[in-house]
Amino acid sequence: MDGLDTGFFFELRAGTTAAQDLWRSITERDDPAAVSSVTLYELSRHGLVGRIDRSFAEAVVERAGVAFEQAAVDPTAVLDRAARITKGMGLPMADALIAASLERVGCARVHTSDSDFDDYEGPMEVVLYPTSREQ
């Protein structure tokens, strides 16, 4: 299963080919995917402050549980794993919570444009997209 970090959605909105291809495989072929509840929060916040198109962010959040599984952060095991990711790998809190919640639902990969995930070491492969802002 593929995990989608907040940066993935920025790349999807920017029209990055790899992000669009993955999104089509999820929405048209029903390939399994998951999104952390922290990612949904971040998308909502970015939409409210104008960092990403608000209607796009709202549409993604509304599809949670339909197009992809929502990975919760409230189980104690997720919180403990996130703390260990932050301590051991130095990922910021939000990224650690995202990684831990995606691990818990069984994601094999996390798709992101966030270079903080360069330091992640765990069961998921990190698929790092060059940000559209760097191209």
CATH of the domain at 57: 3.40.50.1010
pLDDT in tens, 93-120: 999 999 999 999 999 999 999 999 999 9
pLDDT surpasses 70 at 62: yes
Please check whether residue 97 is in contact with residue 80, taking contact to mean a CB–CB distance below 8 angstroms.
no
In a domain, 110, yes or no: yes
Binding residue ranges: 5, 95
Alpha-helix residue ranges (DSSP H) falling in 1-135 = 6-14, 17-27, 37-49, 54-62, 76-89, 93-104
Binding residue ranges for Mg(2+): 5, 95
Mean pLDDT to the nearest integer, 39-52: 98
In a domain, 134, yes or no: no
Range of the domain at 6: 2-128
Tokens 């992809």 sit at which residue?
Answer: 68
pLDDT surpasses 50 at 135: no
